[in-house]
């Protein structure tokens, strides 16, 4: 069997890496000889993140070209919104990608939140358009463990309903997406769990940045979350509240704080980098010594999961960082900016008690949330010990649909 992953371009986002690693693990459990084509902007960098990828059936291939016509179309509909009534621009694979696709048995959209507005309308049209192009080539297409929508307007919703009906199978990772798709009349939908719940942790020596004997609060926040604040003053207040919270944890509790970037460009640039943002947050905290630390750069997703397993508590904004902690039984607070964190928590715990919406983040609410994790630690660990084995089985259901 040979599969082609869509929705993947780089392992700079360790959540994307976690999805590829986990989906590949589950697929190879069912099809041990399966070969998987994984698009990559820079195969050398992605191989550095996953040195034995080829042994797991992975072949890194070029990312499909983003059509110039779609870039132009995007500029046109910003100026003339009514042009969208003509429908989404048909997308074709470039000739190099078409040649690769000719030899595959199925196309797998790797889930996450690709089929949503989270990355803008152009990105949505691009990825959905490639799935439709694969469908026109006669390839079965499968949407794996996704969060879908909600779409912001009725026109996009209608277009995406047409798109979604073309998938051979759809699996979603939370009830919110299932209910939304059902309300749109999409019936070929299966509720599963995020594949990253089965991601293997890679043990390694952490003593250089997590001194033995300390108890750790893992913390992750991203520049993406900061963008949800409405203006510069609100963003500055957000930064200052996080700084105040980190210092308070380090000075008023027995916990040390380990900052854990989960999106960190492999090229060394600091664009959309959790590390760049969190480094600025802890500037001036040198007086706290080893009570404040940060993971080294270029850790892969499995190594980060090992770091998360060593934390007593975790508070994070990146979805797959929280999944990594939850799947290791760590009491976790999700700093939520989208349906993903809310839906996963509601399904896992039956509530959103351990979710802090981004607009509500202050030094006070972070502190209260930590106190809640401490107060309810035994209960949370008990629920996770009961639920995580079940969710690991559910995570495999998306591939069983194949």
Q: Could you write out the DSSP letters of every residue in 164-188?
A: HTT-SEEEESSHHHHHHHHHTT---
How far apart are alpha carbons 191 and 193 in whole angstroms? 7
Along the chain (402 residues), what's the average pLDDT of each consecutive run of 10 residues? 95 93 96 96 95 97 89 69 67 92 95 82 89 96 92 86 94 94 93 96 95 93 80 88 96 96 84 90 92 94 97 95 97 86 91 92 96 97 97 92 80
Asked if 10 and 266 count as a contact pair (C-beta separation under 8 A), the reply is yes
pLDDT, position 302: 97
pLDDT in tens, 339-366: 778 889 999 999 999 999 988 999 999 9
Strand partners, 76: none
pLDDT, position 324: 97
pLDDT, position 86: 64
Asked if 377 and 354 count as a contact pair (C-beta separation under 8 A), the reply is no
Q: Do 215-389 and 2-199+394-400 fall under one CATH topology?
A: yes
How far apart are alpha carbons 335 and 362 in whole angstroms? 11
pLDDT, position 270: 75
Spatial CA neighbour of 301 closest among 388, 222, 392, 200: 200
pLDDT in tens, 242-289: 999 999 999 999 999 999 999 888 887 777 899 999 999 999 999 999
Q: What pTM was estimated for this model as a whole?
A: 0.93
pLDDT, position 80: 65
Q: Where are the domains of the chain?
A: 2-199+394-400, 215-389
Second-level CATH architecture of 215-389: 3-Layer(aba) Sandwich (3.40)
The stretches of 31-120 forming alpha helices (DSSP H) are: 43-49, 68-79, 95-101
Second-level CATH architecture of 2-199+394-400: 3-Layer(aba) Sandwich (3.40)
Asked if 264 and 387 count as a contact pair (C-beta separation under 8 A), the reply is no
Spatial CA neighbour of 238 closest among 278, 272, 285: 278
- Give the helix, strand, coil percentages of the chain, each rounded to 5: 50, 15, 35
pLDDT, position 122: 83
pLDDT, position 88: 67
Spatial CA neighbour of 133 closest among 161, 169, 107, 165: 107
How many helices (H) and strands (E) would you count in the chain? 16, 13
Strand partners, 304: none
């Amino acid at each position: 069997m040979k599969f082609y992953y869509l929705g993947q371009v780089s392992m700079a986002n360790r959540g994307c890496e976690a999805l590829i690693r986990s989906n590949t693990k589950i697929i190879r459990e069912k099809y041990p000889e399966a070969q998987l084509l994984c698009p990559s902007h820079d195969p050398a960098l992605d191989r550095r993140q996953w040195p034995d990828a080829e042994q797991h059936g992975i072949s890194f291939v070029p990312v499909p070209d983003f059509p110039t016509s779609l870039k132009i179309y995007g500029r046109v509909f910003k100026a003339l919104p009514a042009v969208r009534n003509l429908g989404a621009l048909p997308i074709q694979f470039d000739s190099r990608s078409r040649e690769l696709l000719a030899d595959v048995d199925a196309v797998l959209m790797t889930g996450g939140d690709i089929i949503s507005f989270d990355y803008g309308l152009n990105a949505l049209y691009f990825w959905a358009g490639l799935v439709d192009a694969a469908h026109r080539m006669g390839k079965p297409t499968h949407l794996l463990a996704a969060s879908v929508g909600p779409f912001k307007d009725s026109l996009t919703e209608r277009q995406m309903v047409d798109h979604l009906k073309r998938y051979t199978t759809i699996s979603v990772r939370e009830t919110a997406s299932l209910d939304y798709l059902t309300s749109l009349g999409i019936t070929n939908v299966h509720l599963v769990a995020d594949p990253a719940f089965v991601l293997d942790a890679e043990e390694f020596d952490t003593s250089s940045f997590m001194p033995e004997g300390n108890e750790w609060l893992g913390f992750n926040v991203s520049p993406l979350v900061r963008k949800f604040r409405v203006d510069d003053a609100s963003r500055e207040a957000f930064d200052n509240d996080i700084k105040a919270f980190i210092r308070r944890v380090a000075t008023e509790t027995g916990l040390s704080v380990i900052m854990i970037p989960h999106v960190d460009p492999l090229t060394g640039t600091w664009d959309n980098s959790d590390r760049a943002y969190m480094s600025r947050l802890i500037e001036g905290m040198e007086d706290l010594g080893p009570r404040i630390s940060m993971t080294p750069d270029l850790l892969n997703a499995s190594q980060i999961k090992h770091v998360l397993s060593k934390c007593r508590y975790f508070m994070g904004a990146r979805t797959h960082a929280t999944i990594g902690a939850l799947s290791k039984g760590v009491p976790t607070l999700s700093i939520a900016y989208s349906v993903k964190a809310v839906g996963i928590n509601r399904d896992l715990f039956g509530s959103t008690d351990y979710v802090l919406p981004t607009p509500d983040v202050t030094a006070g609410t972070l502190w209260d949330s930590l106190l809640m994790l401490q107060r309810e630690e035994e209960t949370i660990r008990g629920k996770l010990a009961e639920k995580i084995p079940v969710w690991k089985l559910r995570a495999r259901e998306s591939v069983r649909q194949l």
